[in-house]
Amino acid sequence: MGTWGIGSFENDDAADFMIDALQSGDLSLIAEVFDNVLTSSEYVEAPDATVAIVAAEIVAAALGRPTLAAQQEDGLADWLARIRPTIDATTAAQARDALTRILADHSELRELWEETDDFHDWQATVVELGQHLYT
């Protein structure tokens, strides 16, 4: 995992996903990412979890409640202004549910962070993101 920080956008998978998301014209990638996490039978793989966190950041920003990290993410505000996505309660709930699965047992990303000294800081970052998703 090419990770350089605890933030939602501070890893290779997140950076790659942001490129794809900002090139899209709608939220279809976001929905697909949440579906991957929410329908995984038992174990959420780290790459799926990583991009779901970024997708949740995008949803929070589209709701008008971006995290500081999302506010600093190049191109996100411009993309949101251009696309003007509408976030319904179901999408916000899917984002929250995905974060819950990522923070729970049977999450590879959680397990990877548990092996570091930064686990509690990473966990707090994800929990804070979840708070931005309430409508």
In the chain, what are the domain boundaries? 12-131
pTM: 0.94
DSSP string, 39-69: H-SS-B-HHHHHHHHHHHHHHHHHTT---HH
Of 125, 115, 111, the C-alpha closest to 43 is 111
SS3 of residue 105 by DSSP = coil
User: Bridge-partner residues for 3, per DSSP?
Assistant: 11
d(Cα 35, Cα 49) in Å, to the nearest integer?
A: 11
Give tens-digit pLDDT for 74-117: 899 999 999 999 999 999 999 999 999 999 999 999 999 999 99
Of 11, 27, 40, the C-alpha closest to 90 is 27
d(Cα 80, Cα 125) in Å, to the nearest integer?
A: 22
Give tens-digit pLDDT for 22-73: 999 899 999 999 999 999 888 999 999 999 999 999 999 999 999 999 999 9
